[in-house]
């Protein structure tokens, strides 16, 4: 129960390998992504696992990011539907909340499937015409994974100074990993065929987390206040919507624990989509 006496629910959704996620309808937040590591021990990859009172004090892990996410972070969402491997929640903001000039209805369908893939579908419908800065996020526990690196499979990189450069002219050329600490870059793809994709890795721990989205931008940023690394996937500019017109977006995350990488003399599969089909 919240301090105001509202009932809050916690969902645990397993897959066929007994890896599971935990989702709460307090702010629609991922409370944990529990995956067996190379030693067979369950590890919570995501920032979370906190008590409700801590979420009431601050909820940086809500699925919606940005100003809209802040407005939704302390609402108790309605549970519209639930099934064996998913839960669907909905909430709303009044005009003036979340940087929106209109009242907005939002929905979030969260699904956990085999091969440790988390699929999140976002739905946003304004009451009146407005522009929405839409984005979604996932927090990775940077306290547990202290040597995180990132690589991008996007064609362009927007650097901190505002310069947009081809990826092959940056530190991410040839899909090289770069230290995630202090990163200020945004990965961009406006193509309908190729959308932003990146991979976080702690190679020492063998943990690899891939992120893919139907939106046009993906960035990684540090949240030192909670000891997390934040993956933000969003539209590169506000989305203009008419009243009653819905906008949908999808984010996919894949978690893999891999054995030490092969030597340079061995053949390596560098297909960026291979992480989503591992084991099939």
The 10s digit of each residue's pLDDT in 98-123 is: 778 899 999 999 999 999 999 999 99
pLDDT at 269 over 80: no
> Is residue 149 in a domain?
yes
Mean per-residue pLDDT of the chain: 89
Domains identified in the chain, total number: 1
Please report, for residues 3, 5, 182, 218, 222, the alpha-carbon distance to residue 151 in angstroms, rounded to integers and kept in the order given: 42, 44, 14, 12, 16
How many residues does the structure list for the chain? 280
pLDDT value at position 135? Answer: 92
User: What's the N-to-C CA distance of the chain in angstroms?
Assistant: 42
Give the CATH number of the domain where residue 181 resides.
Answer: 2.70.98.10
Whether 124 is covered by a domain: the verdict is yes
The pLDDT, as a whole number, for residue 261 is: 54
Better-scored residue on pLDDT, 239 or 11: 11
pLDDT at 280 over 50: no
Domain range enclosing 251: 10-259
Range from 18-32, 52-66, 111-125 carrying the lowest mean pLDDT: 52-66
**Does 264 reside within a domain?**
no
Beta bridge partners of 9: none
Residue 78 lies in a domain: yes
Q: What is the mean pLDDT of residues 206-224?
A: 92
Taking the mean position of all CA atoms in its chain, how far away is CA 69?
Answer: 13
pTM: 0.89
Do β-strands 186-188 and 217-223 pair in parallel, antiparallel, or remain unpaired? antiparallel
Rg value, the chain, Cα: 19
């Amino acid at each position: 129960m919240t301090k105001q006496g509202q009932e809050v629910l916690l969902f645990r959704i397993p897959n066929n390998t007994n890896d599971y996620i935990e989702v709460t309808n307090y702010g629609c937040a991922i409370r944990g992504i529990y995956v067996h590591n190379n030693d067979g021990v369950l590890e919570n990859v995501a920032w979370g696992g906190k008590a409700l009172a801590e979420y009431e004090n601050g909820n940086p892990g809500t699925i919606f990011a940005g100003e809209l996410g802040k407005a939704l972070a302390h609402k108790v969402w309605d549970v519209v539907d639930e099934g064996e491997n998913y839960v669907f929640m909905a909430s709303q903001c009044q005009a003036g909340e979340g940087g929106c000039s209109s009242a907005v209805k939002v929905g979030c369908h969260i699904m956990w499937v085999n091969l440790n893939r988390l699929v999140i579908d976002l739905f946003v419908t304004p009451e009146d015409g407005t522009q929405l800065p839409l984005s979604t996020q996932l927090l990775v526990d940077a306290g547990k994974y202290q040597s995180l690196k990132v690589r991008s499979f996007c064609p362009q990189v927007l650097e901190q100074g505002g310069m947009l450069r081809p990826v092959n002219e940056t530190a991410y050329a040839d899909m090289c990993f770069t230290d995630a600490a202090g990163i200020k870059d945004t990965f961009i793809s406006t193509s309908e065929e190729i959308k932003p994709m990146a991979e976080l890795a702690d190679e020492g721990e063998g943990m690899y987390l891939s992120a893919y989205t139907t939106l046009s931008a993906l960035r990684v940023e540090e949240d030192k206040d909670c000891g997390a690394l934040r993956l933000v996937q969003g539209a590169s500019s506000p989305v203009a919507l008419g009243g009653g017109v819905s906008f949908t977006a999808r984010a996919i995350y894949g978690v893999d624990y891999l054995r030490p990488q092969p030597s340079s003399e061995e053949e390596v599969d560098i297909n960026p989509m291979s992480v989503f089909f591992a084991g099939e």
